[in-house]
Amino acid sequence: MAMHHQVLVIGGGNAGISLAARLRRWKVDDIAVVEPSSQHYFQPLFSHIGAGAARMREAVRPQVDIMPAGVEWIRGRVVDILPESNVVVLSGGARISYGHVVVCPGLQLDWHRIDGLTEAISSPACSSNYDAALATKTWELVQGLSSGTAIFTQPAGPAKCAGAAQKIAYMACDYWRDAGVLQEIDVHLVVPTTTAFGMPEVDAELERKIDEYGITLETSTSLAAVYPEEQAVMLTGPGEDRQLRYNLLHVVPPQSAPDWLKATTLPAAGDRGGFVEVDPGTLRHRRYSNVWSLGDAAGTANSKSGGALRKQAKVLAKNLRAVLRGGKPKAQYNGYSVCPFTLSRGTAFFAEFDTGYRPKPSYPFLKMAKERRWQWIMDRHVFPQIYWRLILKGRA
Ligand SMILES: Cc1cc2nc3c(=O)[nH]c(=O)nc-3n(C[C@H](O)[C@H](O)[C@H](O)COP(=O)(O)OP(=O)(O)OC[C@H]3O[C@@H](n4cnc5c(N)ncnc54)[C@H](O)[C@@H]3O)c2cc1C
């Protein structure tokens, strides 16, 4: 049976659901979301789960419960987009034609790009909060460590909420300090940047905590290989490559657009990450006027995060609605992104910035990078509620 939808959304994650809900609220008819997973995850809670500050059941809901009323859910996996013929192909071969397509299937975790990491991740001493199935393992490893070496790594290149690699390091140190064992643990935080984050104000606050916890900050350094049998990593940085043994390894893998998306004609020529080539302001494709993208899979220069796509969803919905009514896309996304840095299991601050890592604070009268209790409460308790109740309903 031939299928056609006026608006077809690929991916029912944070971006796809919040956009579809907003469009539906604005009376756009005939919207369908293609989504293979029966579960929907609120990924920012994974950091808290890894530190024992949240349970997985708080981060997951059945997809059927969050699908907006009046939006059709197509339970399938997209394997190709043919923008010249306005067709999307599903894994079973079904073809769906569209008036407009919004591409937001998120990021792919490229474990294979680091030697030994695919094997390491299922070995006893290695974990990653970036896999829903492993966040609870992280917490078990943190609780089980009372001496030795703990290594936390952040990858170079695009990543969702890149600072999440650091959040777990600070929260684990806080736990170990409370448990009275922090001084027995040699903690290394491996970052690709020349400073902890890349914004002077943020760096100063992070480095204050790094000193307080006695963490060794390895700047301009990347994880080159993991040898799970020996519980060792190879780090590549400014000096000679060197091996370091570990008792706990928390890895954030390199990330890119899904392979099937890379193979379409939607990415810009030469974009090895494979992201959809959109105008970064309007979020409309530069070459195909009925193709749009937002969220982690969009080829925008902002730091990828749920906070960034919340702004993008409003812009894209406005522009798509205008075009559907025969108008022009006038709304512009300004490159805003945010990273909530949890500095302990009870304090945090929000780094808010634009594509040039210039501060973009929501509350300019507050010093942005300052450890606060209420910002942790926002991140841990308030945002999940805002997510389920407002963002996924296209209301925030
Ligand atoms: C550990 C961690 C901590 C984070 N912390 C924060 C934070 O504190 N603040 C913040 O703002 N952001 C945070 N983020 C980032 C945030 O979760 C992402 O930026 C956001 O989820 C991106 O939304 P998205 O819809 O683009 O992708 P996703 O939410 O990943 O959704 C993509 C969807 O597409 C579906 N899909 C995949 N392939 C296909 C296909 N072939 N066909 C159809 N559908 C497909 C997937 O099943 C999924 O449902 C964090 C992420 C992680 C992993």
Probe residue for ligand 1, chosen from 89, 102, 161, 310 as the CB with the greatest number of ligand atoms within 8 Å: 161
- State whether 83 and 141 are in the same domain: no
Is 293's C-beta closer than 6 angstroms to any atom of ligand 1? no
Q: How does pLDDT run across 33-53, given as a tens digit for each residue?
A: 999 999 999 999 999 999 999
Residue 63: give its domain's CATH number.
3.50.50.60
> Number of C-alpha atoms within 13 angstroms, CB side, residue 361?
13
Please work out whether the CB of residue 267 comes within 6 Å of at least one atom of ligand 1: no
Shared domain check, 246 and 135: yes
User: Rounded CA gap, 278 and 69, in Å?
Assistant: 28
Among 9, 10, 14, say which to mutate for ligand 1: greatest number of ligand atoms within 8 Å of CB: 14
Residue 275 counted as domain residue: yes
pLDDT confidence of residue 160: 96
Ligand 1 close to Cβ of residue 46 (< 6 A): yes
Distance CA 273, CA 11 (A): 18
End position of a domain, from candidates 205, 228, 255: 255
Same domain, 101 and 164: no
pLDDT at 184: 98
Determine the Cα–Cα distance for residues 161 and 167; give it in Å rounded to an integer: 10
Q: Are 374 and 391 in contact (CB under 8 A)?
A: no
Whether residues 129 and 12 fall in one domain: no
Ligand 1 atom closest to the CA of 50, numbered from 1: 1
pTM of the model: 0.97
Residue 309 CB less than 6 A away from ligand 1: yes
* 307 Cβ below 6 A of ligand 1: yes
Residues 171 and 103 in one domain: no
**Residue 129 beta carbon below 6 angstroms from any ligand 1 atom:** yes
Write the pLDDT tens digit of every residue in 206-230: 999 999 999 999 999 999 999 999 9
| 209 and 221 inside one domain | yes
Are the C-beta atoms of 352 and 368 separated by less than 8 Å? yes
Cα 95 to chain center, whole Å?
29
Q: To 10 degrees, what angle do helices 135-144 and 164-178 make?
A: 30
Which domain does 170 fall in, by range? 111-255
Q: Is the CB of 33 under 6 A from ligand 1?
A: no
The single residue listed with the structure tokens 């060792």 is: 232
The torsion angles phi and psi of 315, rounded to 5 degrees, stand at: -65, -50
> Does any domain span residue 238?
yes
Residue 341 pLDDT: 98
174 in the same domain as 118: yes
Q: Tell me how many domains the chain contains.
A: 2
* Same domain for 129 and 9: no
Position 301 scores a pLDDT of 95
Pick the closest to residue 231 from 127, 143, 146, 137 (CA basis).
Answer: 127
Query: For ligand 1, atom 50, which residue shows the shortest CA distance?
Result: 44
Place of tokens 């979301």: 33
Per-residue pLDDT band for 2 (boundaries 50, 70, 90) equals low
> With 90 as the cut, is the pLDDT of residue 1 above it?
no
126 is known as an active-site residue: no
Question: Which pLDDT score is estimated for 98?
Answer: 98
Let me know whether 156 and 263 are in one domain.
no
Q: Does 241 share its domain with 331?
A: no
Pick from 314, 335, 356: which residue ends a domain?
335
Which of 231, 255, 279 is where one domain is finished? 255
- 379: in domain: no
182 and 226 together in one domain: yes
Ligand 1 atom nearest residue 294's Cα? 26
Of the residues 305, 360, 392, which should be mutated to test ligand 1's pocket, given the most ligand atoms within 8 Å of the CB?
305
* Both tokens assigned to 173: 């140190």
Q: How confident is the model at residue 296, as a pLDDT?
A: 98
To which H or E segment does residue 310 belong? Answer: helix 306-324
- Ligand 1 atom with minimal separation from the 43 CA: 17
Specify the pLDDT at position 212.
98
Tell me the per-residue pLDDT of 143-186, one tens digit each, with 9 for 90 and over.
999 999 999 999 999 999 989 999 999 999 999 999 999 999 99
32 lies in the same domain as 116: no
Nearest atom in ligand 1 to the alpha carbon of residue 16 is: 25
User: pLDDT band at residue 244, thresholds of 50, 70 and 90?
Assistant: very high
Region 301-311 average pLDDT: 97
Each residue of 311-332: pLDDT tens digit? 999 999 999 999 999 999 999 9
Percentage of residues in the chain with pLDDT exceeding 70? Answer: 99
